[in-house]
Structure 1
Amino acid sequence: MTTPILSARDVRKSYGRGSNRFDALKGVSLDIHEGESVAIIGRSGSGKSTLMHVLALLDTPTDGTVELAGADTGTLRGASLNRTRNTTFGFVFQQFFLTPNASVLENVVLPLKIAGVGRRERRRRGLAVLEQLELADKARNAAVNLSGGQKQRSVIARALVNDPRIIFADEPTGNLDTATGAVVEDLLFGLHREQGITLIVVTHDEELAARCDRRIHIRDGRIVDDEAVAA
C-alpha cells in the first residue's frame, strides 16, 4: 500500500495552562492519500480548523506526530519548514487575504516571490495560472476592485501557482452567494480531478462535503466518523 501523503498520529493540541487550558484536539489519527478529496466537517469549536492548521504545518501539535509522505514534520524548523509549506501546499481561505491595493498578478505570484523565483518567471507562471482561471484580463487590476467570485478565483490562482501537491480550502465558499459559490466549488473539484491535486476541505456545509471522496466528522476535538462517499 502506498505511503499516505499526510498522516496524523495521536495528535493533540492544547491552548493555555491550568484552569485556562483548552484541549482543541484530543488524540486525532488519520491518513490521507495522494489524489484524495477529503472533507473535515464539524461545528464551530469542534477542532476542525485546528486540525487543518496542524496538518498544513501552520501550527505545531502539543503531542503526537504529523508525517508528510512518510517523513516526520516535527524535525522541520525555520527556513526548511517555510520552504516545505510554501512548495507543498496551496491555501484557499474564506477570508481572501489579498493585498487590496496590489494588482491581482502581484497577489497571485506572492508564493513564488517568497520562494525566490525571479521576476520574469514569476510573471510567466502567474499569467499562465490566471489564464487557466479566466482572470488574465484582470491581472493589472487592483484586488480591491474585484467581485467576491473574482477574489476567490484569484486566491485559487495563488494557491496553484507553486504547483502544490495539496490544497487546503477552509470554508472556501463561505463569503460567496450561492451561484458564485457553486462556480468556485466546480473549479476546485475540477482541478482535483484533472490535475490529481489532493484536496482537503474544512467545512460545516454537508452539501459541499458530499462532493468529496471522504467525510471526516470531528466533534469536541475527536474524530467521530470517517466515511467514504458513495460514487
Structure 2
Amino acid sequence: MATAYDAPPVPGAPSREEPVLETENLVKVYGRGASRFDALKGVTLQIGRGESVAVVGKSGSGKSTLMHLLALLDQPTAGVVAMDGRPVSQLKTREVSHLRNERFGFVFQQFFLNAGQTVLENTVLPLKIAGVGRAERTRRGMAVLERLELADKAKNRATDLSGGQKQRVCIARALVNEPTVLFADEPTGNLDSATSAAVEDILFGLHRDEGITLVVVTHDDDLAAKCGRRLEMQDGRIVSDERAATGTGVCP
C-alpha cells in the first residue's frame, strides 16, 4: 500500500526533503451500527519540518481527532501516520511512547497541571517519565522556566498561579524535552485577550527562533491567521489547504 512519503510533492509546498509528519488515507471511526461516527474520512496530509499550521473547522469537523492521531495519542481505524518517513504502525507500543515523549510537546486549553505539585515538578514531568535523573531534571526545568520568566515561581503550587501563568507552565512542560513538534489545542481558549496575545507571542517566537514545527487546533481566526498554513476541516475531510501570502510558514 502506498504511504504518504511515497506521494509526489504538493505544488507550492515547503521542501519535501525533510517532512516531519505525513498521513495517507487516514480514517477514524467511533462506535458501530446506528451509533457509528466517521470522525476522519481518508485524510492525506504532509507537514514540513518548521511549518506553522493552523487546523480549523466547526466542532465535530475532525480537527482534534486529526491532531490526536498526528500526535500519536490515538490510533487510526485505517490509513497511515508516518514520522520522518517511517510508518508509526511499524513501531512497538513502547517505541511509540518513547517517540511521543521525546519528539512532541503538548499545550492544551485545559492546563492539566497537578495542583498539588510545584511549578518545577509539573514542568519536568516529561523528563521524569523519560527516566532523567533528578539533578538533570532540575537543571533543564529551571532553564526553561527562566526562558518563560517563571523561575521565581518554581516552588509555587500550580493552584497559586493565574491562568496566563498556568499556560506558560504548560508551555514550559512542552518544551523541556526540546521537542521537534509542538501541538497546541485551543491554547488561548481559556485566556483573556491580553494574556492570549502574550501566549501567542511565546508560541510563534519559539517557531521563528528555534524552528519548532507548530500545529495549532483553534476556533480563533486571528490565531489561525498568524500561522503560515491554514487547513480547514469539514465532516472529517480537509476541504481547504491555504498558505499565507507573505511566506511559506517554514522557518529559515
Instruction: Give the TM-score taking structure 1 as reference length.
Output: 0.99
Matched, 1:53 2:68: yes
SS of equivalent to 1:201:
strand
Letter in 2 for 1:48: K
Matched, 1:23 2:70: no
After superposition, residues 33-182 of structure 1 pair within 5 angstroms as 33-182=48-197
Matched, 1:14 2:29: yes
Q: CA deviation at 1:76?
A: 2.1
Question: CA–CA distance in 1 between the matches of 2:94 and 2:76?
Answer: 19
Which stretch shows the higher mean deviation, 73-82 or 15-24? 73-82
**Counterpart in the other structure of 2:8:** none
Question: CA–CA distance in 1 between the matches of 2:175 and 2:187?
Answer: 15
Question: CA–CA distance in 2 between the matches of 1:81 and 1:66?
Answer: 12
Question: CA–CA distance in 2 between the matches of 1:182 and 1:3?
Answer: 31
Letter in 1 for 2:101: N
Question: CA–CA distance in 1 between the matches of 2:179 and 2:227?
Answer: 19
**Counterpart in the other structure of 2:12:** none
Q: CA deviation at 1:160?
A: 0.2
Q: Which runs of 5+ in 2 are unaligned?
A: 1-15, 247-252
Question: CA–CA distance in 2 between the matches of 1:16 and 1:119?
Answer: 43
SS of equivalent to 2:19:
coil
Match of 1:214 among 229, 232, 241: 229
Question: CA–CA distance in 2 between the matches of 1:105 and 1:111?
Answer: 12
Question: CA–CA distance in 2 between the matches of 1:24 and 1:192?
Answer: 29
Instruction: Give the TM-score taking structure 2 as reference length.
Output: 0.91
SS of equivalent to 1:129:
helix
- Same amino acid, percent of matched pairs: 65
Q: CA deviation at 1:19?
A: 1.6
**Counterpart in the other structure of 2:216:** 201
Question: CA–CA distance in 1 between the matches of 2:148 and 2:18?
Answer: 32
Q: CA deviation at 1:181?
A: 0.4
Q: CA deviation at 1:79?
A: 1.5
Letter in 1 for 2:21: L
Q: CA deviation at 1:4?
A: 1.1
**Counterpart in the other structure of 1:230:** 245
Matched, 1:191 2:206: yes
